[in-house]
Amino acid sequence: MKFSKATLFATAAIFAAPFMATTVIADGHGDDLTYILVSHAPDSDSWWNTVKNGIALAGEQMDVNVEYRNPPTGDLADMARIIEQAAASQPNGIITTLADYDVLSGPIRAAVDSGVDVIIMNSGSPAQAREVGALMYVGQPEYDAGFAAGQRASDDGVGSFLCVNHYISSPSSTERCQGFADGLGIELGNQMIDSGQDPSEIKNRVMAYLSANPETDAILTLGPTSADPTLLALDENGMAGDIYFGTFDLGENIVSGIKAGTIEWGIDQQPFLQAYLPVVVMANYHRFGVLPGNNINSGPGFVTADGLELVEKFAGEYR
Amino acid sequence: MSDVSNGDERIKTTSKFRQALMRPELGGMVGTVAVFVFFGLFAFDSGMFNSQGVMNWSVVSAQFMIIAVGACLLMIAGEFDLSVGSMIGFAGMMIAIFGVTLGWPMWIAILITFVICVAFGALNGYIVVTTGLPSFIVTLATLFILRGFTIFIPQTLERKTIIGGIREAAEGDWLAPIFGGEIGEPIFVWLGDRGIINVFERGNRAGEPVVNGIPMLIVWALGLVIIGHFLLTRTRFGNWVFAAGGDADAARNAGVPVNAVKIKMFMFTAFCATVFAVCQVMEFGSAGADRGILKEFEAIIAVVIGGALLTGGYGSVIGAALGALIFGVVQQGLFFANVESSLFRVFLGVILLAAVILNTYIRRTITGER
């Protein structure tokens, strides 16, 4: 791998320089550990920037090589090929999401069996991680997080809601909405809309839903992709600050929304930790043989208007 | 070829060398060699050329090949199909609905899916030839319609957009292994035992070779390429395809059933997309509403890299297959060569542009066409 980099650099320095941007070359430890993180996120999903930053920082601090890969369109079948590819390049470890068990369990198990250690992050569940032979699961169980949020909203007097699902093809997105409905103790029914990924479409669909169903108590969005346009929609139809608004995940606009009182709370699953901790865990495992005895829950944590300072400072970068 | 030289050009003799250069797949051949040399130099020790690595880019290339054959023949016949990607998602979902949700035997689910999808292909073709609208627009509409159904139907029936359990439902079925199975296992076991290819180090499959057979996906890809090539170059129908795409009116005047040819090519494209989908759901065991997004463009890219003309009437199935191989090798090879993944699209664009310019340049210099 190093040879190829050196040659490429020499022959096409101008071309090569930006391409090597996130690769951190190990030095000092005398080992050359390489970890590859595979996500299911399409290129367009900006939330994963935090994950990229997290793994880059961990690579720097632990003196290991780290790489980030994803299927450009978010097609999970393409992601399976990327995991197979990652296994074929024989890294020391693979950190991957388990967005669809049927599609990804085969390639992940094959990677484990061919001698690559795997940690499941973000999507999936502790049980599924154990099933595919992964070392551990680092993430936020989606249904439970939705359920906890639903209970919280129920305590605040919410009786109906709109779930803005911008990634309807991912089962975990639907689980968040389902968990929220169950936490409130109501049927999900038609309260979940497929908003698509385009900001102006999301905004207009939210406005259309709210004008057709003006009695809606609350809005749940599933991340910055759907939260940012929803904020604009509420500003425009005057419901901002009036309707109960909760969201999964954080981002710059979400944080300022919480500050302004438009958003009640944001559920931080702390993606930074999901990328950072697996690298730390695996590097220490491969160097010293030490391994934590359990899965790691990176979330849920409710971020409210209190104590926003650090969150605000690093929103979109590490938070 | 507008070359009007002295005498009758039909009986003019051309040298063997010149004939070789005039093949539309020449650019694809040059590109294939170039791509392998490039990755041989820059990614040789990265695992790209071990058994797992070879299987990885072969499978990806085979996927492209399956849809590229259909897209190639259709493009030579002068039309596009932008609904290929949606068709892949739709076909997979239909199999899941029939085979899992409704619990029908898998072979019936597969056959009915083929019938439905090929019928959609025929509908695409019928609308294009009867209205005279550009196929670009008609199939763009189909793209949205099929994708919409692919999300709506499972959402309505199952309240989710990924339906699993297909592998279990296909257990013991006679038709499913033709799409999702593997052949040549004993050879790979033998290779594994001799230490020629790696074996699993741990787990239930310890000792088994890391590659345990040639997926039927690859067999289908090669089969479709051979059939497509034969059809195009050795049959009367193949000549009709060229004629329909070259100049539809002239072809009609010469008695070629242009409309029927075009509709058949739309059906064949849909058939190829369905083959892709069935192989995929049988391998992965689930159908998802987001499967196949942008695959129509990947098919077109492979065909164009392979030397076909976007305007129709010129191209080759072998070229398209080589285009698919180049595409697959480059896509996976960039990962092996450890290139920052967000730049993948930049490379894709550069390669596409380079291939088209190279192909056009070669064709113009050799044929003297303007």
- Look at residue A182 and tell me if it is in a domain: yes
Flag whether pLDDT at A32 surpasses 90.
Answer: no
* Count of structural domains, chain A: 2
A270: left (phi over 0), alpha (psi -120 to 50) or beta: left
The answer to whether residues A50 and A192 belong to one domain is: no
Q: Residue B287 sits in which domain range?
A: 23-367
The pLDDT assigned to B227 comes to 96
Task: From chain A, pick out residues whose CB is under 8 angstroms from the CB of B289.
Answer: 168-169
Q: How confident is the model at residue B369 (pLDDT cuts 50, 70, 90)?
A: low
- Look at residue B78 and tell me if it is in a domain: yes
Record: contact B155-A194, CB cut-off 8 A: yes
Euclidean distance between CA atoms A317 and A166, whole angstroms? 21
- In this structure, are residues B269 and B81 in contact, taking their beta carbons and an 8 Å threshold? yes
- Residues A283-310 have pLDDT tens digits of 999 999 999 988 998 878 888 888 788 8
- Look at residue B308 and tell me if it is in a domain: yes
- In this structure, are residues B98 and B104 in contact, taking their beta carbons and an 8 Å threshold? yes
CA B25, B30, B34, B37 torsion-angle sign: positive
Cα–Cα distances in Å, from B294 out to A143, A213, B286, B290?
31, 35, 19, 10
User: What is the overall mean pLDDT for chain A?
Assistant: 85
- Look at residue B14 and tell me if it is in a domain: no
- Look at residue A63 and tell me if it is in a domain: yes
Hey, how many other C-beta atoms are within 10 angstroms of the C-beta on A11? Answer: 11
Which stretch, A216-230, B148-162, B280-294, has highest mean pLDDT?
Answer: A216-230
Q: Is B338 at the interface with chain A, CB within 8 A?
A: yes
* Count of structural domains, chain B: 1
Q: Is residue A300 reached through a cis peptide bond, with omega within 30 degrees of 0 on the bond before it?
A: yes
Helices B84-96/B106-131 angle, 10° precision = 150
Kindly report the CATH number assigned to the domain that includes residue B292: 1.10.3470
Provide the CA B116 distance to its chain's centre, in angstroms: 20
- Phi first, then psi: give them for residue A29, nearest 5 degrees: -85, -10
Q: Is B335 at the interface with chain A, CB within 8 A?
A: yes
| Total residue count of chain B as it appears in this document | 370
Kindly report the CATH number assigned to the domain that includes residue A284: 3.40.50.2300
Flag whether pLDDT at A147 surpasses 50.
Answer: yes
- Phi first, then psi: give them for residue A262, nearest 5 degrees: -70, -40
Q: Is A102 at the interface with chain B, CB within 8 A?
A: yes
- Look at residue A156 and tell me if it is in a domain: yes
- Look at residue A172 and tell me if it is in a domain: yes
Q: How confident is the model at residue B311 (pLDDT cuts 50, 70, 90)?
A: confident
Task: From chain A, pick out residues whose CB is under 8 angstroms from the CB of B60.
Answer: 81
Q: How many Å lie between the alpha carbon of B369 and the closest alpha carbon of chain A? A: 35
End-to-end, the C-alpha distance of chain A in Å comes to 32
Residues in CB range of B78: below 8 A, 6 or more apart? B244, B245, B246, B248, B262, B311, B312, B313
- Residues A160-213 have pLDDT tens digits of 999 999 888 777 788 899 999 999 999 888 888 888 888 878 888 888 888 888
Q: Residue A49 sits in which domain range?
A: 25-140+270-299
Locus of tokens 């759901």: B281
- Look at residue B17 and tell me if it is in a domain: no
Task: From chain B, pick out residues whose CB is under 8 angstroms from the CB of A102.
Answer: 162, 164-167, 284-286
Locus of tokens 């491969």: A286
Interface subset of A 65-94, CB within 8 angstroms of B:
67-70, 72-77, 80-82, 84-90
Residues in CB range of A12: below 8 A, 6 or more apart? none
Q: How many Å lie between the alpha carbon of A153 and the closest alpha carbon of chain B? A: 24
The answer to whether residues A95 and A162 belong to one domain is: no
- In this structure, are residues A264 and A246 in contact, taking their beta carbons and an 8 Å threshold? yes
- Look at residue B18 and tell me if it is in a domain: no
- Look at residue A70 and tell me if it is in a domain: yes
Element (H, E) at B16: helix B16-21
The answer to whether residues A150 and A53 belong to one domain is: no
The pLDDT assigned to B186 comes to 85
Check residues A157 and A22 and name the one with the higher pLDDT.
A157
